[in-house]
Amino acid sequence: MTTEQLAGTTVRMPALGESVDEGTITRWLKQPGDHVTAEEPLLEVATDKVDTEIPSPVTGILHCIVAEENDVVAIDAELAIITESGGTAAAPTPSPPTASVQVPPAAPAPTAAPVLPVSAPVPPAPEPEPTPAVPAPREQTAATDSVTEKLPRIRRTIAQRMVESLQTAAQLTTVLEVDVTAIARLRAAHKDDFMQRTGIKLSFLPFFAKAAVDALAEHRVLNASLNQDVTEVTYHGVCHLGMAVDSEKGLMVPVIRDAQTLGIEDLARAIADKADKVRTGTITADELSGGTFTLTNTGSRGALFDTPIINQPQTGILGVGAVVERLVPTRQDGELRIDVRSMAYLSISYDHRIVDGADAARFLTAIKARLENGFTTDDL
């Protein structure tokens, strides 16, 4: 039977983003004979950039699946046929069940398997000691079990790109400590109002993002990209900020376009929106491409600092460590004091082929100055 013989709707592989020309079917969420409604998730597809769900274009019955799980399918290729509810839709439904009805009969084996006679003798014999001997092997078997799983396509892509990045760039990391006590106090004073006004928690992250984006305007070498043969460098006039987001499917880096135009509130909204899309699987491939500089919040899980790997072909990536309260010596009016301060480490990994250590240090110093002295209530 060909798809042309069916009076139904052909489900095709949709465009999955710029420069993406195929996708791998990872899982069908519906089976032939199932009723589906328009916009209901039909299957899951993985690309080199993102995993995503493809919705049903119409309401009806999933008549047949054309492309199976693990198939690599080109954009616009056929995936399935959906027929209208009723009429011809009823015909396809029986087929799958019939096939599966023949499999269940194999279930009589389990009926014969009522090796329950074996478990029947076990109850009567609880007083003797054969019963304890049965659980022992089970525990040993479970303890020695190991699992081998196929890596998801997105995990394989991450692995490949991380290795390629290290093999491509001469990567070096510079670390600097920053005092964010003023920002901690600003947050404490305004977090409730900010939550009521925006519905978003006011974290430290938008402050770090804003300070980094502002500093990039004066340190263009870190908002740049090198061509493959290292003969040209492009200094970007805008900052498309990549924000590394941890998810069950792996690390993804959605991009906030024109971040240099955004204030603290807009950055907080954009960060929350991108993170939510990543974790709910609704992020698109286009939202994961085109970044000019990346920020990764390595402190979100308590790490003090990290040496992040550059997101090629960018020249820098900023790591933000956990904000912790520590006793810090300070001088005021010539006197040495010990105060409790909110401190964090910033680390910048950079491409040493074009960025010098002094460039990286100046960049971090500019961020430090902005964080320690540059934010007021007006920024909220």
Question: Residue 190's pLDDT is what?
Answer: 96
Report the pLDDT value the prediction gives residue 129, as an integer from 0 to 100: 61
Q: So what's the pLDDT on residue 332?
A: 85
Residue 12 corresponds to which tokens in the numbers above? 């095709």
Confidence (pLDDT) at 77: 93
Query: What pLDDT is attached to residue 116?
Result: 40
Predicted pLDDT at 84: 81
**Strands 293-296 and 316-320, bridge-based pairing:** parallel
Residue 331: the pLDDT is 87
Domains assigned to the chain = 3-98 (2.40.50.100), 154-379 (3.30.559.10)
Helix (H, G, I), strand (E, B) or coil at 22: strand
Per-residue confidence in pLDDT tens, the chain, 380 aa:
444 444 689 999 998 877 788 888 989 999 999 999 999 999 988 887 777 888 999 999 999 999 999 899 999 999 999 998 644 444 443 334 333 334 444 444 444 444 443 344 444 444 446 444 444 454 544 557 899 988 877 788 888 889 999 999 999 999 999 999 999 999 999 999 999 999 999 999 999 999 999 999 999 999 999 998 999 999 999 999 999 998 887 889 999 999 999 999 999 999 999 999 999 888 888 899 999 999 999 998 899 999 999 999 999 999 999 999 999 998 888 899 999 999 999 999 999 999 999 999 999 999 999 999 989 999 99
pLDDT at 109: 43
- Judge residue 107's burial from the number of C-beta atoms within 10 Å of its C-beta, 0-12 exposed, 13-18 middle, 19 or more buried: exposed
Q: How far apart are CA 294 and CA 318, in angstroms?
A: 6
pLDDT digits (tens, 9 = 90+) for 149-192: 888 777 888 888 899 999 999 999 999 999 999 999 999 999 99
In 3D space, the residue among 165, 212, 169 whose CA is nearest the CA of residue 311 turns out to be 165
* pLDDT score for 128: 46
Residue 283 tokens read as 């992020």
Encode pLDDT of 54-69 as tens digits.
Answer: 899 999 999 999 999 9
What is the DSSP annotation of 197-260? HHSS---SHHHHHHHHHHHHTT-GGGSEEE-TTSS-EEE-SS--EEE-B--TT--B--EETTGG
Q: Kindly list the catalytic residues.
A: 352, 356
Q: Note the pLDDT of residue 121.
A: 42
pLDDT computed for residue 85 by the predictor: 64
**What are residue 344's phi and psi, to 5 degrees?**
-150, 155
Q: Is the pTM of this model over 0.85?
A: no
What pLDDT does 50 receive?
76
pLDDT value of residue 333: 87
Cis before 313? omega within 30: yes
Can you give the pLDDT at residue 281? 82
pLDDT at 156 (0 to 100) = 82
Strands (E), 108-162: none
